[in-house]
Structure 1
Amino acid sequence: MERRCKEIHDKKEGRDEEIEDEKEGRGETVKKHTGEELLKLSSRQKSSLMNGALANIALSACYSVMQPFLRDEAIKKDVSLTGAGAIFGCYEVVMFSCSLIIGSQLSRIGSRRCFYTGTFVIGVSSLSFGLLGACPPGDTFLGLAVSIRMIESLGAAMMLTANYALATKEFRDNVATAYGFLEMCAGFGHVFGPLVGGGLYQLGGFGLPFFVTGPMTIVIASVAIFTLPNENKDEERPSDYGQLIKLAKIPAIPLEQLAVWVEFFGLCALSPTLGGHLQNVDASIQGNHIMIGLAFALCGIFYMCSVPLVGFITDKYNHRKVIIVSGLIVTALSFTLIGPWVPLTELFPNDKGAAWAVFLGNCLCGIGTASITVAVMADCVNEAVSHGLPDSIITYGNLSSIFNTSMGLGNFIGPILGTAIVEHNPFSTLSAVLTGLCLGEAGLLVLYCGIIYAVLRRRRKWSRYSSTDSPIDSATYNHIHNDSSLLLLPPTPYPVLQEHYLQSEYE
């Protein structure tokens, strides 16, 4: 038995060395742990990360630069508040409707070409939006604004899908850390975009913010054309049109994407409603737009600061599902404080809540969003590959598009349902709905993980039994294999199981 175990151990070490040699021969970076490795990046990785970070900052800035003044400008142009909302809402519609198509065609288009083309479209669209200051008021302004925003959203879908697919390919062994850095840059753009936009608007009017962000983004796209690493010829494969269906059949991926939808649905449900609620709970904040803006900024600031740390922890300890569930619980607590949820209203003197609870809730919301976003993106890649899908740009592109679709759908539905709930019910009702969604999703993930653990434990017991010299009847094997198939677990044939556990006993 010891000699057999020694042979298995030697064979495994030989296979690992062959795999590492093969990766090095293809020019790939072989890493096993996160930490100091990210400080020793190859020129290819540095270029990808630099371009992705700059593009994320530019995209977020172009998206949020108009938030401080678009409402007032729309009123000047004889556009209703509903029309102003449509200018924002159409962006999300195009995002979630086009992302899946772009992801499925990414290998055909080319991730590099998709990246810099999308970034260029964002820049040109932002620059064009600034010209609307000279546009006639009324329906002409509204129609052109919506059209330009839809084109900009198409560029954003292209850039984001390609950006995260490239990050996955270049940082395959440190995916969460790379995602964390990119999301930190996106958060930076969302936090400082409105500040810069408001200042430039006061300085030079409607067009100036866009005349700054548009050319800046075009320059970033131009730099990407010359500095983004070339794609390998073996990556130019035909699209796998059926892979989206295969991904949807892996239970963990829809469950985790549901967590993304819940998170962004909650965030965007607060966007049109939180300002009024904050003024309602604290009369001293009436008309104080600086304090209202601070409430929104706190979520972005804590998100921006948390994502690198969450990415590092995710890669170091690999407890991705635990981090997702923890993020959902933290987010549920944040919505409970912001509301506050009905059971907590009696803790406040006015039975409505307090400004400090709203500010604290937004801080926790930023931390929870960071935990969910980074861990979901990293775990979906792991789930797809472990279920036999190719570890290639095709899979990365499809997963990136699914994530963008979940996020865009939440961003679109959130403001609509959020305002509908608050119009007919107290704000605490919206808080209860958002808290319930987060806790319900956390419960589903815990239940799924519990079932998986029970099946894998049963599989391990069977494997240990099969590693002995006792005969195994086919009925026992088929019964346990069918239990695993119902959960769509990665298939593990009998010899692999026996070899794995023989090695474990030897070690």
Structure 2
Amino acid sequence: MAYSSLDPFFPQEAARKKGGGSADFEVGLIYGMFAAVIVVAAPPLGAHVTKIGPKFMLCAGVFLIGGSTILFAFVDAIASWRSFLVICFFARALQGAGKAAALTSSWTIVVTEFPDKVSTVSGVIETFAGLGFMIGPPLGGALYAAGGFTLPFFFIGGLLLACNVALIFTLPTSSEAIRCYGNNTTNLSSWKLLRNVWIWMTLIATSLVPASFSMIEATLAPFLERTYKMKPAKIGLVYLLCCGVYIISAPFVGRVADKWGTKRVIIGGLFVAGFAEFFLAPSSLLAFLPDNEMWLFLSSSVVIAIGLAMASVPTISDMVLSSRGMGFEKSVALNGVISGLWTSFTSVGNTVGPSIGGLITQKTNFRVSTTVFAFALVAHGCIYLILSLCFRSRLK
């Protein structure tokens, strides 16, 4: 919610602060700083989670996110454009560091506490994360309309700090599951896991899903306005449909993955989302399909959302299973390293998706962009499937 709450008003305020003209490039860099810090910070945080402590890292991360969100409230009082940019970059970097700590530690706790139901719990977490992302923009816009630039940041930042107080007093320092695992801090780093092809297969899927989602998010609005003459209100409903289908399907996908096998669900999701994305615009490769058919676009959007949930929700559980297949023993240290890698590669996708998708769309059109990302999903699904069939024992 803290990440997306400034979407409705911050770009316009930044342009006003600049003194006229577009500030799209600078705003893009400020937004990109968030994901870039997560990419860099998450793996070392995961490697040191046992030394720092999962609870302390989680609380410190939430505190950083809340404090940096409140810091954003004061940038409106800065007259200098350069000083405005510096403080915005600093605040966004703190938000990224906080999210890296919070995500890495929370996933470590989840994998440790629910070792046999990681996908099921992941689905529930994805649902609430999606709800926060959906609520953020309308809440931020409403607060901005009610109290100006500072109110959204004070409200959401204060809410995060209040939640942090609740975490401090309610979350146990060392649960029974963590005590049973033991704080094994044996020389364990991300590089040991990255020597395994199955870890790479899953991490690539982990990046492709947010890349595809964020590419569509960044480039869809102009396409809908130009092709279907949609107004902003209706465009918002399309975004709501995609996010809604994802968060509703995520818990069910998690339960299915825990029962039928994580790799089966991930590979199936890559194919489902990839093939459906060919139909979204639709691709020029499917010349036999009618253009500008709303039913085709909406049905494709629904299938893409379900497919991306299938390819995303079981990934961290699959990494845990792959690491055990490599001979690693259960430990909080291992769970921390896996969580750090997963968080980092998710942010890689969130960074690459809109930048590459935006560039392709700008140089060509939305149809070509969706075709490229559809090929990426299907191609990775094919490679993953072939490897799994060659080693059938891994297709679980």
TM superposition score category, shorter chain reference: over 0.9
Alignment of 1:227-266 (within 5 A): 227-231=170-174, 237=183, 239-266=185-212
Counterpart secondary structure, 1:63: coil
* Counterpart residue number, 1:149: 92
1:98-131 superposed Cα distances (whole Å, 9 cap, x missing partner):
1111011111111111011101111111111122
Q: Distance in 1 between matches of 2:220 and 2:261?
A: 33
Q: Distance in 1 between matches of 2:9 and 2:275?
A: 32
Q: 1:322 aligned to 238, 257, 264, which one?
A: 264
Compute the TM-score of the two structures, normalised by the length of structure 1.
Answer: 0.74
1:445 aligns with 2:384: yes
Q: 2:113 aligned to 162, 170, 186, which one?
A: 170
Instruction: Rate the CA distance shift 1:396–1:205 in 2: closer, same or farther, 3 A.
Output: same
1:97 aligns with 2:43: no
Q: Distance in 2 between matches of 1:206 and 1:334?
A: 40
CA deviation after TM superposition for structure 1 residue 234, in Å: 7.2
Q: Distance in 2 between matches of 1:282 and 1:299?
A: 17
Q: 1:75 aligned to 15, 23, 37, which one?
A: 15
Letter in 1 for 2:90: S
1:430-461 superposed Cα distances (whole Å, 9 cap, x missing partner):
111011001001001111111102xx5xxxxx
**Number of aligned pairs?**
389
Counterpart secondary structure, 1:347: coil
8 Å CA contact 2:188, 2:334 repeated in 1 = no
CA deviation after TM superposition for structure 1 residue 201, in Å: 1.2
8 Å CA contact 1:117, 1:159 repeated in 2 = yes
1:313-347 superposed Cα distances (whole Å, 9 cap, x missing partner):
122x2321111011111211332222211123442
Alignment of 1:7-46 (within 5 A): none
Q: Distance in 2 between matches of 1:101 and 1:309?
A: 32
* Counterpart residue number, 1:357: 296
Q: Distance in 2 between matches of 1:183 and 1:436?
A: 25
Q: Which one has the largest radius of gyration?
A: 1
* Counterpart residue number, 1:65: 5
Q: Distance in 2 between matches of 1:199 and 1:210?
A: 12
Moved more, 331-340 or 306-315: 331-340
* Counterpart residue number, 1:334: 276
CA deviation after TM superposition for structure 1 residue 298, in Å: 1.8
Letter in 2 for 1:330: V
Q: Distance in 1 between matches of 2:16 and 2:336?
A: 42
* Counterpart residue number, 1:404: 343
CA deviation after TM superposition for structure 1 residue 236, in Å: 6.5
Flag structure 1 segments of 5+ consecutive residues without an equivalent.
1-60, 457-486, 490-507
CA deviation after TM superposition for structure 1 residue 163, in Å: 0.3
Alignment of 1:363-374 (within 5 A): 363-374=302-313
Q: 1:139 aligned to 61, 76, 82, which one?
A: 82
Q: Distance in 2 between matches of 1:91 and 1:340?
A: 32
Q: Distance in 2 between matches of 1:325 and 1:199?
A: 40
* Counterpart residue number, 1:116: 59
Letter in 2 for 1:69: F
Moved more, 176-185 or 353-362: 353-362
8 Å CA contact 1:281, 1:354 repeated in 2 = no
Alignment of 1:427-506 (within 5 A): 427-453=366-392
Letter in 2 for 1:318: W
Percent identity of paired positions between Structure 1 and Structure 2: 27
* Counterpart residue number, 2:240: 297
Q: Distance in 1 between matches of 2:264 and 2:159?
A: 39
1:68-92 superposed Cα distances (whole Å, 9 cap, x missing partner):
1122111111161101111111101
Flag structure 2 segments of 5+ consecutive residues without an equivalent.
none
Q: 2:255 aligned to 283, 298, 312, which one?
A: 312
CA deviation after TM superposition for structure 1 residue 365, in Å: 2.6
CA deviation after TM superposition for structure 1 residue 166, in Å: 0.2
Query: Could you say which structure has the greater relative contact order, defined with CA pairs below 8 angstroms and 6 or more residues apart?
Result: 2
Q: Distance in 2 between matches of 1:148 and 1:347?
A: 47
Compute the TM-score of the two structures, normalised by the length of structure 2.
Answer: 0.93
